């Protein structure tokens, strides 16, 4: 399978590393914002074509699929361009930064029948897979999820500490992980959603702190706290409170409510959520099936984000 990848930044590197571990997959084109840096990354990973224009990658006939690790504001338009070029596409989270654009991507996927997937990585992390298996087996039912998404980003930097060419967003990016995961794990529709936000940053133009409450049709509730102001332990921490136990997921680690470690190393073929996400994308193309985290499956998340956005704007 021949793959083109757009985005030579922090997450582009994560996907290049992951794809290198999947048999029968070759990245043949890399598109990035700065040509010199893109060529440097392409050389490191043995990618023979480097460009600053995604259209050049899409014009390569042998390309079967594209992975988009580009700025949020480009996601929907680029996903549509990929499908119009006849390419399967995986777009990093979020699918879009407004509901209309997300709906347009889903509509085109249904018309083309191509595999179109969004990088909702929490569905693939072994820690969350372990909890889901307990749920599916009827051994655990979520009563509440308590989630903290904490970063320190008072300047516009990426995950590698480098200057970013675009502005990140707590609602349309970071809360998307938890809103989708809560629906996925609780198994119901989100019937109530509330949000409040702190002051808007004078230079970045975004809220740096946000609090979200959700309720599922199953009765489960979720409280999500997000901050770009947190000067302390960084990352996202999930507490599952259920009818038969409590589990805390910190990236790839999972412990119970008494901080006793749970071994999740045998849950899947890798402990790397990005690799597992990419394996699902490749497998869905090969098997001619809908992938987990297809654009249609994650659309309800963006419908909730739209409701919250309207609420905050009001």
> What would the mean pLDDT of 79-98 be, rounded to a whole number?
98
β-strand partners of 278? none
- Percent of residues, the chain, with pLDDT higher than 70: 96
> Could you tell me the pLDDT band of residue 169, with boundaries at 50, 70 and 90?
confident
Q: Which fold has domain 2-121+274-294?
A: Rossmann fold (3.40.50)
110 pLDDT above the threshold of 60? yes
Does residue 162 or residue 91 have the better pLDDT?
91
- CA 254 – CA 246 distance, rounded (Å): 10
Q: Given pLDDT bands bounded at 50, 70 and 90, which one contains residue 233?
A: confident
Report the distance separating Cα 272 and Cα 15, nearest Å.
11
In this prediction, residue 168 has a pLDDT band, given cuts at 50, 70 and 90, of confident
The pLDDT of residue 151: 87
Per-residue model confidence as pLDDT tens digits over 29-54: 999 999 999 999 999 999 999 999 99
Q: Which long-range contacts (CB under 8 A, 24 or more apart) does 29-36 make?
A: 29/4, 29/5, 29/56, 29/57, 29/60, 29/63, 30/4, 30/5, 30/6, 30/57, 31/4, 31/5, 31/6, 31/7, 31/56, 31/57, 32/6, 32/7, 32/8, 33/8, 33/165, 34/8
CB 212 within 8 A of CB 192: no
Query: What was the pLDDT predicted at 158?
Result: 55
The pTM of the whole model exceeds 0.75:
yes
Residues 173-184 have a mean pLDDT of: 97
Q: Is a pLDDT exceeding 80 seen at residue 85?
A: yes
Q: 211-230: per-residue pLDDT in tens? A: 999 999 999 999 999 999 99
pLDDT recorded at residue 138: 98
Q: Where in the chain is the domain with CATH 3.40.50.720?
A: 2-121+274-294
Domain 125-267 fold: Dihydrodipicolinate Reductase; domain 2 (3.30.360)
Count CB atoms within 10 A of the CB of residue 138.
Answer: 8
Q: Tell me where in the chain the CATH 3.30.360.10 domain(s) lie.
A: 125-267
């Amino acid at each position: 399978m021949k793959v083109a990848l757009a985005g030579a930044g922090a997450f582009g590197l994560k996907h290049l590393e992951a794809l290198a571990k999947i048999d029968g997959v070759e990245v043949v084109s890399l598109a990035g914002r700065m040509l010199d840096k893109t060529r440097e990354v392409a050389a490191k990973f043995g990618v023979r074509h480097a460009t600053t224009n995604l259209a050049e990658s899409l014009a390569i006939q042998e390309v079967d699929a594209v992975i988009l690790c580009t700025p949020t504001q480009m996601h929907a338009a680029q996903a549509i361009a990929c499908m119009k070029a006849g390419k399967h596409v995986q777009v990093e989270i979020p699918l879009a930064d407004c509901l209309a654009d997300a709906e347009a991507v889903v509509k085109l996927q249904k018309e083309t029948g191509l595999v179109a997937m969004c990088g909702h990585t929490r569905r693939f992390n072994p820690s969350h897979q372990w909890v889901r298996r307990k749920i599916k087996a009827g051994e655990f039912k979520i009563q509440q999820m308590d989630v903290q998404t904490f970063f320190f980003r008072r300047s516009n930097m990426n995950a590698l500490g480098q200057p970013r060419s675009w502005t990140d967003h707590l609602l349309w990016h970071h809360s998307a992980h938890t809103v989708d995961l809560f629906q996925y794990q609780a198994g119901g529709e989100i019937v109530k959603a509330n949000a409040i936000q702190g002051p808007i940053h004078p230079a970045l133009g975004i809220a740096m702190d946000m609090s979200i409450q959700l309720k599922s049709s199953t009765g489960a509730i979720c409280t999500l706290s997000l901050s770009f102001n947190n000067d302390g332990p960084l990352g996202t921490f999930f507490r599952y409170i259920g009818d038969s136990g409590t589990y805390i997921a910190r990236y790839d680690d999972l412990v119970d409510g008494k901080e006793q470690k749970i071994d999740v190393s045998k849950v899947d073929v890798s402990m790397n959520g990005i690799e597992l996400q990419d394996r699902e994308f490749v497998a869905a193309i090969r098997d001619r099936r809908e992938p987990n985290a297809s654009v249609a499956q994650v659309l309800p998340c963006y419908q909730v984000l739209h409701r919250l956005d309207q609420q905050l704007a009001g």
